Structure 1
């Protein structure tokens, strides 16, 4: 074999090794299990009137005081008596379908019917997005990952056992489609960097959601069932549940539009 041939073989081996290292590095950065090599930008999920609420539930809102909610709160079709937040805990309007509920509530069944309908439309929109950029990333364990804009899909539960970072710009959209539950461990955080806005982050889940004690979450949660905020947990986003929302001395802040 000539010297030239030997050099060519060596270079090929070096290139192959470099490619393997690059692929491994991408996987650990949150790019593993990509379905599309070049993700296409996603449009935000249209929330309609549901987007004017920080908390919206179909079967009620329980509360272990005291919580601090910045934004509107509503429940429908359940009676207003199922809204257990007190007036001082809400910076916004509490809407009820009837005359029962907190003393400061506003009765507006028409508005609530529209909002709940729009919540269902938003859930269907998020769940119906096709051609995911990432499928079953981390086998459902995303703790410790840095995630980039796109459409994510899991046929499993999703666990957040360590901090998760969402990186992008102010117009980038993240949509998470989850067939099971979302569980965030105590004292862990979902954080936004690079200008990502909570209004552009959407978590659609067919199961329940549990945000752990003193944990922090970002984005709009569209849940088919229960959203449970554990003691001292906080969210910069919306809790939109097709069953109940349970609070335990939480901070819920509707994101800026």
Structure 2
């Protein structure tokens, strides 16, 4: 009886087991049937990428031969089957579409009962799930760093681009993201996080160089959609600093012995890199001690501890150790030279005979305008009729004045007859001429050699000159700015300018001669002029010194006779032969 009951129990269990699986071709079955445990995409998933690979994972290993296009089927909503390749590995079956899925489309995936496990047990019912693709969203680059056409980009810059949608990281690589300088590809490491790709150059970028960055259409979104077109942008790296100006200029001559040497940079510099190692001054191989400072305005200064020696060539150097605030060094050492003033010691000059502020040789003196004032005396060995447009402030005598031409002479007018000229005044005028001629000869290049040759190539405008003798190869001009005279604190300092030909001060705009810090005496400045001098013909300006010209002096021009642009001479205007003409001019005659 017990044996009979035991056999009955086994029979019931056997029936229960075989009733859980579908019939198959195998003689024997086991009690586990294959089922689909999970899928990719999940059932009901939306916005699936167009390049999605579909997979189903079973609870057990299945017979690979039963996984094929007949048992793993993908169809569109209208029943059209999707072509593709079916593979199987482990417990997962994979369907790879032959072409991207269609946008905005619902797909049905089906695993049929034709799938069996290795024991021949079949899937009990077809496993069906659906998913839908999204709309086509073409990715675009929304920001870059650096931006397009950005300048002054750091040499260690990490280059980034951010997309409008998440991208497929496998499509962001050295083929789809490139940085070039011209045709040369820049080596670097590419990373992708979130929606941003980054390019880190292997080596620092080159200064002042244009780089071009390209993201190609090989870069695709997670949906498999590529960029519509290559995205290209450029940027320029920060330039290396340069020296834009120096004082003194390169090859300057007649430089003050107490000169502070300066250099201006194109960029703000790192003050810690501007020092006595990177900014040096030498005379030959001798290092000149000094104090180096760097202040706002991009200017470095070298102030020698001691005065420089006269008549020597000095070499200033800014080395590549000097760096910009961004850490970029000068591309090359910057070197320039200058020569200090050759301070001659002339014999004392006697000016006591120069009691005339204006002297018109034997040709007279002419004034136009009503604003002329000579604070001193004027004279000529010519007849009084050759002096026009003046009133003698001491006697009230007039010399051919008109309603438009009448200047004042405070200390008398000295001419030959007719009246108001006379023999006594003529004798005084002749004595003044002889004194002027003696002074003229005593300050000539022949009598006073050894001067600094042709400073500024004859153009004194913009120069600062120490006391001394300066000799032009032909003419002197002061038309490129003002001339500054630096007495080095000595109120008795003297300057001698020798121009074998002409002297021209001012051009279309007036120029001036000034004393640095106001230290200096106009009576100690001498201008030897071999022919004629023209002072600020356009009107205006302030001239300094005793001008002694052989063939005439002209101050301002007739065009200024009715305007208030006064031309000022703090000194004397003396012509040995020709006339002196002036228009609305103030002459302040210094004391001897």
- Quickly name the TM-score band, shorter chain normalised: 0.7 to 0.9
Q: Give structure 2 stretches of 5+ with no counterpart.
A: 1-276, 288-313, 318-334, 394-407, 561-565
Change (3 A) 1:202 1:14: closer
For the residues of structure 2 that align with 1:111 and 1:14, how far apart are their CA atoms?
Answer: 56
Contact conserved, 1:41 with 1:173, CA < 8 A, in 2?
no
Question: Are positions 1:247 and 2:542 aligned together?
Answer: no
Q: TM-score, normalised by structure 2?
A: 0.37
Which structure has more RCO (C-alpha within 8 Å, separation ≥ 6)? 1
1:132-171 matches, cutoff 5 A:
132-161=450-479, 162-168=481-487, 169-171=490-492
Give the total of aligned pairs: 234
1:14-33 matches, cutoff 5 A:
19-21=314-316, 24=336, 26-27=338-339, 31=340
Residue 216 (structure 1) aligns with: 542
For the residues of structure 2 that align with 1:14 and 1:222, how far apart are their CA atoms?
Answer: 40
Residue 56 (structure 1) aligns with: 359
Residue 73 (structure 1) aligns with: 378
1:35-46 matches, cutoff 5 A:
36=342, 39-46=343-350
1:44 CA drift (Å): 4.5
Change (3 A) 1:145 1:86: same
Change (3 A) 1:14 1:71: closer
For the residues of structure 2 that align with 1:26 and 1:149, how far apart are their CA atoms?
Answer: 17
More strand, by proportion: 2
Contact conserved, 2:491 with 2:520, CA < 8 A, in 1?
yes
Residue 419 (structure 2) aligns with: 100
1:195-214 matches, cutoff 5 A:
195-212=519-536, 213-214=539-540
1:107 CA drift (Å): 4.8
Residue 120 (structure 1) aligns with: 437
Alignment RMSD (CA, Å):
2.6
Change (3 A) 1:165 1:44: farther
Aligned-partner SS, 2:346: coil
For the residues of structure 1 that align with 2:281 and 2:493, how far apart are their CA atoms?
Answer: 36
More helix, by proportion: 1
Q: TM-score, normalised by structure 1?
A: 0.82
1:98 CA drift (Å): 1.5
